[in-house]
């Protein structure tokens, strides 16, 4: 940081920006148009000193000064006091973030994919030089959840979080649910609106939500998790029929992220689940996100807001930047990750879940007794059952069963045994049910 000759001028903090896409261009816009206002808040003049992009001539949402644009990311890092990383991806981003942190330069990033794979390495690099590593934008976009989890709840014991933490998939599922839109059309719209990752497979397959789950769980449970610790399923298998059946039963299907303490550690999972429509998470629409946290003393807390998109995400990035600038001005060091608890991530098998299972079965006498026997053999009980004609084939019935809560491994073994029965023509869908209690 450089102090200007005139003592009345605030010291200048040079900000190097990596990436000027959906989010980066909005961050640049604020830095270029509201720097004086931010100086009044931080006591530091934030000066955009360089912007690294892949193609300096590419069209952008926001006009950026040509003299700041370069393809030389290392030069931007070396010429800055603090670095904002909004390129995404693992390589070469990891090396660039390390270059900054190793030089003692604080880094603000929205890159959950990087954090969920190399978070520990980056945290160590930051701790070694006292730099700050800030990533509010990496989990649930604009919603303040990283800092509340790290700071506000630091004196409590987080038991569980349930979150809708991917805007793209929530948008797609919501469109399918409310307008009957086709999956691919809804996804294309989410991409158009700037919600999706550069490769939207990361959203659809649940990887983006899984990365966020690992990042948030590391803070919630004072342990270091990677994306490999998260059991992950995407939304590709969710059909219009599943949505309609859920609606009929008073539920809605959402891609849910769960982090919860269990007997031998913590279970982390992401997948499509049925949530009661009246639950607060059931009412989260469009690209909005929400995180429902349960802590021992605080009880239930709800965090809600825009989980994706250029401007909302830029808000979280700028919040981190202002905070980093204040800390730098005060000579403060970064806050290291407290992962002393080292709680292991346990597999799905021992977790208590509840399943909604749709079966296409031969429509004849004695079928229900056969199914009931399979459930009994596995010690799994049925909570509700509905039967209707299978519109696809004559002589076949559709059975929609909801189990009581049971050990996940037992529930899945029951489904496999049902699949093996000659009277079961098809296991149409298997969706966990989350009551949110
Ligand atoms: N779009 C969103 O709603 C949100 C995005 N994020 C995260 O923010 C980051 C940026 O996301 P978007 O702005 O949506 O991405 P984007 O794809 O719109 O923009 C990426 C920018 O980085 C540049 N870039 C990519 N690779 C580069 C390289 N190797 N060298 C130099 N420049 C390179 C591109 O030219 C482009 O300017 C990602 O990590 C993403 O996961 C986080 C929260 C929400
Ligand atoms: N692709 C992500 C962007 C924000 O993290 C999402 O859809 O949530
Ligand atoms: Na956030």
Q: What is the pTM of this model?
A: 0.96
Mutate to test the pocket of ligand 1, among 77, 110, 191 (most ligand atoms within 8 A of CB): 110
Residue nearest to atom 3 of ligand 2 (CA): 308
Backbone angles phi, psi at 2, to 5 degrees: -110, 140
Q: Give Cβ neighbours of residue 267 (< 8 Å, ≥ 6 apart).
A: 231, 258, 259, 260, 345, 346, 347, 348, 350, 351
Ligand 1 touching residue 21 (CB < 6 A): yes
CA 109/CA 209 separation, integer angstroms = 16
* CA 366–ligand 1 middle distance (angstroms): 58
CA 116/CA 122 separation, integer angstroms = 10
Say if CB 100 and CB 79 are below 8 A apart. no
CA 209/CA 232 separation, integer angstroms = 9
Ligand in closest contact with the CA of 22: 1
* CA 89–ligand 2 middle distance (angstroms): 13
Would the annotation count 179 as a binding residue?
A: no
Residues forming beta bridges with residue 267, ordered by sequence position: 260
Say if CB 11 and CB 2 are below 8 A apart. yes
Ligand 1 touching residue 76 (CB < 6 A): no
Backbone angles phi, psi at 80, to 5 degrees: -110, 160
Would the annotation count 354 as a binding residue?
A: no
The predicted pLDDT at position 108 comes to 98
CA 225/CA 161 separation, integer angstroms = 15
Ligand in closest contact with the CA of 320: 3
Give the residues surrounding ligand 2 with Cβ less than 6 Å away. Answer: 141, 166-168, 195-197, 203, 208, 307-308
Domain 351-433 = CATH 3.40.50.300: no
Query: Which ligand 2 atom is the nearest neighbour of the CA of 165?
Result: 8
Q: What is the CATH number of domain 12-143+312-330?
A: 3.40.50.720
Phi/psi-derived region of residue 147, left when phi > 0, alpha when psi is between -120 and 50, beta in every other case: alpha
Q: In the structure encoding, which two tokens stand for residue 201, read together? A: 């497979």
Say if CB 270 and CB 258 are below 8 A apart. yes
Parse the chain into domains and list their residue ranges. 12-143+312-330, 146-306, 351-433
The helix or strand, by DSSP H or E, that contains position 359, with its residue range, turns out to be strand 355-362
Ligand 1 touching residue 111 (CB < 6 A): yes
Query: Which ligand 1 atom is the nearest neighbour of the CA of 93?
Result: 29
Q: Give Cβ neighbours of residue 246 (< 8 Å, ≥ 6 apart).
A: 252, 253, 274, 356, 431
Would the annotation count 22 as a binding residue?
A: yes
* CA 259–ligand 3 middle distance (angstroms): 16
Which residue's entry shows tokens 């830029």?
A: 314
Mutate to test the pocket of ligand 2, among 23, 163, 168 (most ligand atoms within 8 A of CB): 168
Q: How many residues does the chain have?
A: 437
CA 215/CA 101 separation, integer angstroms = 19
Residue 55 DSSP symbol: -
Q: Indicate if 212 belongs to the active site.
A: yes
Q: For every one of its 437 residues, what pLDDT tens digit does the chain have, with 9 covering 90 and above? A: 665 554 568 899 999 999 999 999 999 999 999 999 999 989 999 999 999 999 999 998 899 999 999 999 999 999 999 999 999 999 999 999 999 999 999 999 999 999 999 999 999 999 999 999 999 999 999 999 999 999 999 999 999 999 999 999 999 999 999 999 999 999 999 999 999 999 999 999 999 999 999 999 999 999 999 999 999 999 999 999 899 999 999 999 999 999 999 989 999 999 999 999 999 999 999 999 999 999 999 999 999 999 999 999 999 999 999 999 999 999 999 988 899 999 999 999 989 999 999 999 999 899 999 999 999 999 999 999 999 887 777 889 999 999 999 999 999 999 999 999 999 999 999 999 998 77
Ligand in closest contact with the CA of 88: 1
Query: Which ligand 2 atom is the nearest neighbour of the CA of 166?
Result: 8
* CA 209–ligand 2 middle distance (angstroms): 8
Query: Which ligand 1 atom is the nearest neighbour of the CA of 208?
Result: 41
ipTM given for this complex = 0.99
Q: Give Cβ neighbours of residue 420 (< 8 Å, ≥ 6 apart).
A: none
* CA 168–ligand 2 middle distance (angstroms): 6
Ligand in closest contact with the CA of 208: 2
CA 41/CA 397 separation, integer angstroms = 65
User: pLDDT tens across 253-308, in order?
Assistant: 999 999 999 989 999 999 999 999 999 999 999 999 999 999 999 999 999 999 99
* CA 249–ligand 2 middle distance (angstroms): 29
SS (H, E, C) 122-164: HHHHHHHHCCCEECHHHCCCCCCCHHHHHHHCCCCCEEEEEEE
The predicted pLDDT at position 355 comes to 97
Q: Per-residue b/e over 232-247, b at no fewer than 16 CB within 10 Å?
A: bbbbeebeeebbebbe
* CA 90–ligand 1 middle distance (angstroms): 11
Cα 201 off chain centre by? 14
Residue nearest to atom 19 of ligand 1 (CA): 21
Residue 306 DSSP symbol: E
On the question of a common fold for 146-306 and 351-433, the answer reads no
The predicted pLDDT at position 3 comes to 55
Side-chain half-sphere CA neighbours of 90 within 13 A: 9
Residue 10 DSSP symbol: P
Residues forming beta bridges with residue 407, ordered by sequence position: 352
CA 247/CA 425 separation, integer angstroms = 24
Query: Which ligand 1 atom is the nearest neighbour of the CA of 23?
Result: 13
Say if CB 231 and CB 192 are below 8 A apart. no
Would the annotation count 341 as a binding residue?
A: no
Q: 60: burial class by Cβ within 10 Å (0-12, 13-18, 19+)?
A: middle
Dihedral sign for Cα atoms in the order 272, 278, 279, 285 = positive
CA 256/CA 114 separation, integer angstroms = 21
Would the annotation count 14 as a binding residue?
A: no
Query: Which ligand 2 atom is the nearest neighbour of the CA of 170?
Result: 7
Angle CA(121)–CA(124)–CA(130) in degrees, nearest 5? 140
Active-site residue (options: 14, 212, 254, 354) = 212
Cα 10 off chain centre by? 37
How would CATH label the architecture of 146-306?
2-Layer Sandwich (3.30)
Q: Per-residue b/e over 332-350, b at no fewer than 16 CB within 10 Å?
A: eebbebebeeebebbebee
Say if CB 10 and CB 75 are below 8 A apart. no
Say if CB 276 and CB 268 are below 8 A apart. no
């Amino acid at each position: 940081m450089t102090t200007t000759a005139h003592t009345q001028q605030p010291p200048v903090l040079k900000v190097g920006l990596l990436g000027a896409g959906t989010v980066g261009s909005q961050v640049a816009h604020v830095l270029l148009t509201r720097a004086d206002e931010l100086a009044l808040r931080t006591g530091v003049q934030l000066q955009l000193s360089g912007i690294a992009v892949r193609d300096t001539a590419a069209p952008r949402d926001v006009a950026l000064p040509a003299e700041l644009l370069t393809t030389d990311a290392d030069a931007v890092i070396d010429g800055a006091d603090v670095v904002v990383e909004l390129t995404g991806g693992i390589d070469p981003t990891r090396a660039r973030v390390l270059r900054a942190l190793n030089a003692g330069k604080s880094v603000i990033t929205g890159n959950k994919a990087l954090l969920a794979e190399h978070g520990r390495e980056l945290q160590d690099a930051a701790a070694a030089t006292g730099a700050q590593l800030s990533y509010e934008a990496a989990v649930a976009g604009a919603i303040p959840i990283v800092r509340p989890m790290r700071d506000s709840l630091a004196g409590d014991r987080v038991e569980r979080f349930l979150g809708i933490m991917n805007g793209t998939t929530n948008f797609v599922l919501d469109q399918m649910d409310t307008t009957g839109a086709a999956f691919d059309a809804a996804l294309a719209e989410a991409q158009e609106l700037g919600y999706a990752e550069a490769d939207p497979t990361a959203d659809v397959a649940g990887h983006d939500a899984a990365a966020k789950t690992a990042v948030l769980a590391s803070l919630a449970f004072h342990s270091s998790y990677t994306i490999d610790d998260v059991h992950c399923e995407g939304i590709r298998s969710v059909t219009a029929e599943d949505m309609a059946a859920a609606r009929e039963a008073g539920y809605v299907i959402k891609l849910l992220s769960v982090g919860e303490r269990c007997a031998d550690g913590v279970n982390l999972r992401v997948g499509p689940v049925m949530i009661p429509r009246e639950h607060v998470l059931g009412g989260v629409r469009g690209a909005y996100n929400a995180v429902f946290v349960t802590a021992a003393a605080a009880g239930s807390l709800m965090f809600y807001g825009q989980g994706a998109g250029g401007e909302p995400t830029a808000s979280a990035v700028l919040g981190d930047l202002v905070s980093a600038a204040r800390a730098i001005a005060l000579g403060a060091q970064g806050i290291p990750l407290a992962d002393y608890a080292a709680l292991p991530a346990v597999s799905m098998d021992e977790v208590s879940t509840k399943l909604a299972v749709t079966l296409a079965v031969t429509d004849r006498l004695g079928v229900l007794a056969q199914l009931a026997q399979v459930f009994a053999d596995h010690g799994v009980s049925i909570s509700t059952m509905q039967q209707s004609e299978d519109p696809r084939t004559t002589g076949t019935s559709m059975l929609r069963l909801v189990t009581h809560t049971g050990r996940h491994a037992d529930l899945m073994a029951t489904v496999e045994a049902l699949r093996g029965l000659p009277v079961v023509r098809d296991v149409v869908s298997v969706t966990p049910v989350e009551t949110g209690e």
